[in-house]
Structure 1
Amino acid sequence: MTLAQAIAENVKDGDTVAMEGFTHLIPYAAGHEVIRQGRKDLTIIRMTPDILYDQLIGVGAVKKMKFSWGGNPGVGSLHRFRDAVEKHWPHKLEVEEHSHAAMANAYEAGAANLPFAMLRGYIGADLPKVNAQIKSVTCPFTGEVLAAVPSIRPDVTLIHAQRADRKGNVLIEGIVGVQKEAVLAAKRSVVTVEEIVDELQPASPNSLVLPSWAVTAVVAVPGGAFPSYAQGYYKRNNAFYLAWDEIARDRDSFQQWVKENILEKTPEDFAQYAKPAKN
């Protein structure tokens, strides 16, 4: 289906939405369509929220963010995120901060339909003092005290991948973060891909396949991860990450950028960035 149709059918106001991708395959095209459709009151989840979540927060689409690290990778702060936390612009933002390990375990617990995840973590850390969702449990067999966090069960997960076949099976190659767990934990999932092929043929030993039964919608959006990269298709645009620091510092320049580059664009515009560039 089209991206507009996939988002309209699967992302609703008030939903809990995960948009995962670690360093590459970040679902920018899908996130921009969420903005174009004016979704509000979202709870967004991501282990490493960067520019895409800065944009969603800045347009007022988000009421809460659950995360384990937030920033412009290699550059600095997320200024729209900071403005929402510090000055409540465009409105107050609730935050729930965890460690990477807790987030990964919580996704895995959600994928397994378990109510919570437990881990050896948060020992000597201060996060439990500011996050009431971090608890402890005692092992009934050894008496060991372990950290516990609620499982992550999104209403919908959005990811980008390299390829899908015509049956809806999806291939992810390169750095794999928690895309698999995030999709399996969700009630619904939308996967944008660089291309749809007759047969999936993994080119990298570090790859995984999401089966069609776990995927709600597949959309071909060449370039859909730009300005992050898609291994085997195009490289990361480091210049954009540097430029974003200046764009996002000022509310007016941010709003003008969103108008020109999201609201007045279409998913097809991403295709210009999908130039062959093996990396």
Structure 2
Amino acid sequence: MAEFLSLQEAVSRHIKNGDTVCMEGFTHLIPFAAGHEVIRQEIRDLTLVRMTPDLIYDQMIGAGCAKKLIFSWGGNPGVGSLHRLRDAVEKGWPSKLEILEHSHAAMACAYEAGAAGLPLAVLRGYVGSDLPKVNDQIKFIECPFTGERLAAVPSIRPDVAVVHAQRADRKGNVLIEGIVGIQKEAVLAAKRSIVTVEEVVDDLNAGVNACVLPSWAISAVVVAPRGASPSYALGYYDRNNAFYKEWDGIARDREAFQSWLKDNVFNKGAAQ
């Protein structure tokens, strides 16, 4: 059952060195505040999982938190590359980063399989693709009913899932509105989960077919206003497009990145 904790306590209690951690959120509701707390606590040797690694993973990789990245697309949306990720892969700074690349479809299927408690996911993708040449986690099997050749990938069952949402009720149930990615499946697949929210309310006012994460599936709920900024939270604030453009210049240079990290993550955290 969900506990209401501070961000510092939730991360300290639930994310440990060497864990496999997924921080999901598609286009909006990206859990930046939680990622910054991981950086502040200097958690190391994480295997980071995300369908679309963007700025938050670029920051965590550049801060030395990660040893491996499992992903299906990586970049600064609408701008270009993730320069801290590239520096880690190509030059080993601040430490060497191992990468394992999948398609979006395979990762979505793997999360769904993890949420269902299954050991693997089966899909029609990858037949004729070059990804199996560089990803030894992609195998091929024969359907026992039709004889069709299908791809199989291990299910994603992370130690910790971290997502951001609009609001929680006082029992710890959480409502996600707007574009929903793979957050629900990530939380259900994980051993532990942290959900940051904009606010706590008496009634979620969830509509028909709303995406509600039940309290029993969540380890910790954290009130973190603007916890998804510079991405956006539908109904609360817009995307800070200017920052995504600025990040390209900040991330290209190691010293500029370290200065930004000190001013905007470590010093900001100390002031809170």
The two structures have a TM-score, normalised by structure 2, of 0.97
From 224, 239, 250, give the equivalent of 2:242: 239
The amino acid of 1:216's aligned partner reads S
Describe how 1:239-258 pairs up with structure 2 within 5 A: 239-258=242-261
Q: Tell me if structure 2 keeps the 8 A contact 1:18–1:182.
A: yes
TM-score, with structure 1 as normaliser: 0.94
Kindly provide the amino acid, as one letter, of the partner of residue 210 in structure 2.
Answer: S
Q: Distance in 2 between matches of 1:107 and 1:162?
A: 22
CA distance in 2, matches of 1:166, 1:267: 28
Q: Tell me whether 1:30 sits opposite 2:38 in the alignment.
A: no
How do residues 114-129 of structure 1 correspond to structure 2 at under 5 angstroms? 114-129=118-133
CA–CA separation in structure 1 for the residues paired with 2:128 and 2:167 = 43
8 Å CA contact 1:51, 1:72 repeated in 2: yes
For 2:270 and 2:140, locate their aligned partners in 1 and report how far apart those are by CA, in whole Å: 44
Q: CA deviation at 1:124?
A: 1.6
Q: CA RMSD in A?
A: 1.2
Cα distance between partner residues in 2 of 1:156 and 1:216: 9
List aligned pairs for 1:1-279, cutoff 5 A: 1-202=5-206, 207-266=210-269
Q: Is this contact kept in 2: 1:79–1:245, CA < 8 A?
A: yes
Contact preservation (8 Å) 1:120, 1:146: yes
Partner amino acid, structure 2, of 1:64: K
Extract unaligned runs of 5+ from structure 1. 270-279
Structure 2 contact 40–269 (Cα < 8 Å) conserved: no
Task: Answer yes or no: is the 8 Å Cα contact 1:22–1:48 preserved in 2.
Answer: yes
8 Å contact from structure 2 (residues 164, 227) kept in 1: yes
Q: How many residues align?
A: 268
How many Å apart are 1:207 and its aligned residue? 3.3
Identity of aligned residues (%): 71
Who is 1:274 aligned against? Answer: none
Runs of 4+ in 1 over 3 A off after TM superposition: none
1:33 Cα deviation (Å)? 0.3
Which amino acid in the other structure matches residue 198 of structure 2?
E
Mapped partners of 1:2, 1:91: distance in 2: 30
SS of the residue aligned with 2:172? coil
Read off the aligned partner of 1:265 and give its amino acid letter. Answer: K
Q: CA separation in 1, counterparts of 2:82 and 2:128?
A: 27
CA contact (8 A) 1:25 1:159 kept: yes
Deviation at 1:148, TM superposition (A): 0.3
Q: Tell me how far apart the structure 2 counterparts of residues 82 and 206 of structure 1 sit (CA, whole Å).
A: 40
In the aligned structure 2, how far is the partner of 1:237 from the partner of 1:206? 29
Q: What displacement does 1:266 show? A: 2.8
Q: SS where residue 53 of structure 2 aligns?
A: coil
